[in-house]
Amino acid sequence: MHDPLDYMTLDVPGPTVTAVTRPFWEAVAAGHLLIQRCRDCGSPIFYPRAICPTCWSDRLDWQPASGKGHLKTWSTIARPAHPAWTPVTPYSVGLVTLAEGPTLLTHLLAEPAVLAAGLPLRACFVRVGAATLPFFEPQR
């Protein structure tokens, strides 16, 4: 497993920030997660979007997420698709189902040998190049 400081020197592009995604990325930069919730049907929503994928309402609010979840599935990357990721290879990415319901694709800060479906995880925030990204690590 790599030290989170290893990611700071990577020269990789950051996330694309739009008017819709800006609240999410500002919260991540401040060290916490936000998800959207539909005011009409109550569905929790991630990834950020302008319209509820359940009922098509545009009445979406931002709410704090606990940052807790569990691992659904994962892959350990042994050969990066872009050479800028070579210094932190191998690294693991996975689908994490948040306690609030939505699933997100994220980096995992854990040894591959400890990764297992259902593993309880918690969010941590890692500087990657010029951006802060939400990573997940095993809950302590």
The answer, yes or no, to whether the previous bond of 138 is cis (omega within 30 of 0) is no
Strand-strand pairing, 34-38 and 44-45: antiparallel
For residues 112 and 21, what is the distance between their CA atoms, to the nearest angstrom?
Answer: 31
The model's pTM: 0.94
- Is the pLDDT reported for residue 81 higher than 90? no
For residues 23 and 35, what is the distance between their CA atoms, to the nearest angstrom?
Answer: 9
Average pLDDT taken over every residue of the chain: 96
How confident is the model at residue 140, as a pLDDT?
83
When pLDDT is averaged across residues 41-68 and rounded to a whole number, the result is 98
- Is the pLDDT reported for residue 3 higher than 90? no
Does residue 94 sit in helix, strand or coil?
strand
